[in-house]
Structure 1
C-alpha cells in the first residue's frame, strides 16, 4: 500500500499542484485549459481507451460471467443513482447531474487500474480480467450514457435548447471518447486482434492522456478554487464509501473469489475518472463542484483504499 501511495497517488498530487500553480501565476490563462481538455478528450483519451480495451480478449470477458454481470449492472445502477440523487437532493439540472455521475459514479480505472492493483496482486490473469471488465463498462457504457444525458439535458450544445433523444444519442456517438471504446469492444467480441505493430502509435498518443488531464484539472482548480460543502462531501461519500460498499456486499453474496472481490472493490473505490472532469471543463458544466469532488476524493482514497482491502479480506475469510 505504501508503494501505491508513492508511485501512484503522489504523482497525481504533484502534477495537479503544478497545474494549479501555473494557473495561479497566470502562466496559462483559464481558457487555455480548454485546449488541453480538447487534446485529451478528442485524441489522447480515446487512444488510451482503445489501446487498453483491445488488449483484452473474448475469453477474458466470458471467463467469469458473474464478475462481468456484477460490474455491468452495478456500475450502471450506481451511475444512474448518482444522476438521480444529485437532482433530488441538490436541485441540479439534468446536464449537471449527468456530469456529476461521470465524476462521482465512475472510477478512474483506465489510469490507475493496473498501477494500483499490480503492486498488490501481481500481473496475473485475474488482475487483467478485473481491470479489463471494469474499464470496458466505464468507458464503453457509462461514458456514452453520460454524454447522451448531457446532450439531452442541453449541456452539450453550447447552451442551446435541449435536443431530442435521437439527436442527443447521435451527438454522443460522434464523440471520439465514445465511439473509440465501443469500436474496441466490438473488435474484442468478434475476436479481431489489432496488429501489434500499431501499438506504439497508440501508446505515444495515449501517454499524453494522464499527465495532461491531471495538469488541466489543476488549471481548472486555479480558476474555480476548491470548495468544501455538502455536495462535495456527498460526491466523495458516494465515490469512496457507497460504491465500494455495494460491490463488496453484492460480490460476497454472489460468491466471488476472495482475491477477485478485493480487486473489484478496490477498482470501484478508485478516485473519479478524469474523463468526467475533462467533459465538465469542455462543456463548462458542473466545473467548480466536479473539480473539488475530484481533489477531495483523491485525498480520501489514501485512507479508503487500505480500509476496503482489509474489509474485503475479512468478509471472505
Structure 2
C-alpha cells in the first residue's frame, strides 16, 4: 500500500498542486490553458483510449459473462444515477449534470487502473480483464453519453436564448434568459466571441429547426474523444487486431495524457474558488463509497462471492478517483469547473484511505 501511495497517489497530488501554483502565478494565460486542454481532449486522450481498448479481445469479454455484464450495466447505471441526482439535489442544468456524471460517476481506470490493481492483485489475466471491461465502458460508452448530454443541454439553452432575443427584438415582453454556464449573446459574431469556443456544438445551428436530440448526438460523435474509443470497440468486437508495431505510435502521444491532464486539473482548480461544500462532499462519497458499495452488493447477489479476488478487483476498479477526462471536458468547455475540480482534488486525496477500506472490507463481506 505504501508503494501505491508513493508511486501513484502522491505524484497525482504533486502535479495537480504544480498546476494550481502555475495558475495562481499566471504562468499560463487563458489561451494557453485552453490549448493544453485541447491537446489532451482532442489528441492525447483519444489516442490513450483507443490503444487501451484495442488491446482487449473478444475472448476476454466472453471469458466471464457475469463480470462483463455487471461491469457494463453497473457503470452506466451509476453514471446516469449521478446525472439525475445532480439535477434533482443541486438543481444543475443538463450540461452541468452531465459533467458531474463524467466526474463523480466515472473512475479514472485508464490512468490508475494498472497502477493500483497490479501491485495489489498481480499482473494476471483476471486483472487485465477487469481493467479492460471497466475501461471500455467508461471510455467508449459514458464519455459519448456525457458529450451527447452536454450538446443537448447547450442546444436547448441556445434555443431559449434565441427565442428570448427574437421576442425582445419584436418589442414584446422580455423573456429572462435561462441559466447557462457561459452567457453567449446570440447577436454576436461567434468568430469574435472568445466564449464561443466553450460551446460544443457549432453556433451555426442556432435558429434552425431540427431535432435537438439528433443534432446533439451527431455533434457528440464528431468529437475525437467519442469516436476514437467507439472505433476501438468496434475493432475488438469484429476481431480486428491492431499490429503490435502500431502501438508505440499511439503510446508516445498517449503518455502525455495523464501528466498533462492532472496538470490541467490543477490549472482549472486555480481559476475558481476551492469548494469543500456539500456538493463536493457528496460527489466524493458517491465516487469512493457509494459506487463500490453498490457493485459489492450486486456482485454478491450475482454469485461472484465464490471468487473473492475477482470481486475485490471489480470493487477496487470502480472505487478509483474521478476520471480525469471529466475534469478536462469541464475545463475545456467551462462547465461545472468549480465543483468538478474540487471533487477531483478531494477524491484523489481521500482515495488513499478508501483504498485500504475496500481491500479490508470485501473479504469480510463474502
- Interval containing the TM-score (normalised by the shorter chain): over 0.9
1:226 alignment counterpart: 274
1:95 equivalenced with 2:100 (yes/no): no
SS across alignment from 2:245: helix
Q: TM-score, normalized by length of structure 1?
A: 0.97
Matches within 5 A, 1:133-282: 133-154=133-154, 156-157=200-201, 164-256=212-304, 257-282=307-332
Q: Contact (CA 8 Å) 2:61, 2:68: kept in 1 or not? A: yes
Pairwise CA distance, 1:139? 0.4
Q: Contact (CA 8 Å) 1:30, 1:219: kept in 2 or not? A: no
5+ residue gaps in structure 1? none
1:297 alignment counterpart: 347
Pairwise CA distance, 1:31? 3.8
Q: Contact (CA 8 Å) 1:30, 1:220: kept in 2 or not? A: no
Taking only aligned residues, the RMSD between alpha carbons, in angstroms, comes to: 1.4
Q: Which shows bigger deviation, 149-158 or 198-207? A: 149-158
What is the CA–CA distance in structure 2 between the aligned matches of 1:269 and 1:87, rounded to whole Å?
23
What is the CA–CA distance in structure 2 between the aligned matches of 1:67 and 1:33, rounded to whole Å?
40
Deviations 1:53-90 (A, max 9, x none): 11111100010110011111111111111100111111
SS across alignment from 1:224: coil
Pairwise CA distance, 1:251? 0.7
Pairwise CA distance, 1:30? 3.6
Q: TM-score, normalized by length of structure 2?
A: 0.84
Q: Which shows bigger deviation, 158-167 or 304-313? A: 158-167
Matches within 5 A, 1:279-290: 279-290=329-340
Q: Contact (CA 8 Å) 2:201, 2:216: kept in 1 or not? A: no
Q: Which has the larger radius of gyration?
A: 2
Deviations 1:86-138 (A, max 9, x none): 11111100110001000000000001000000001111100000000000000
What is the CA–CA distance in structure 2 between the aligned matches of 1:225 and 1:192, rounded to whole Å?
47
Deviations 1:165-215 (A, max 9, x none): 001000111111111111111111111110111111101000100000001
Q: Contact (CA 8 Å) 2:82, 2:104: kept in 1 or not? A: yes
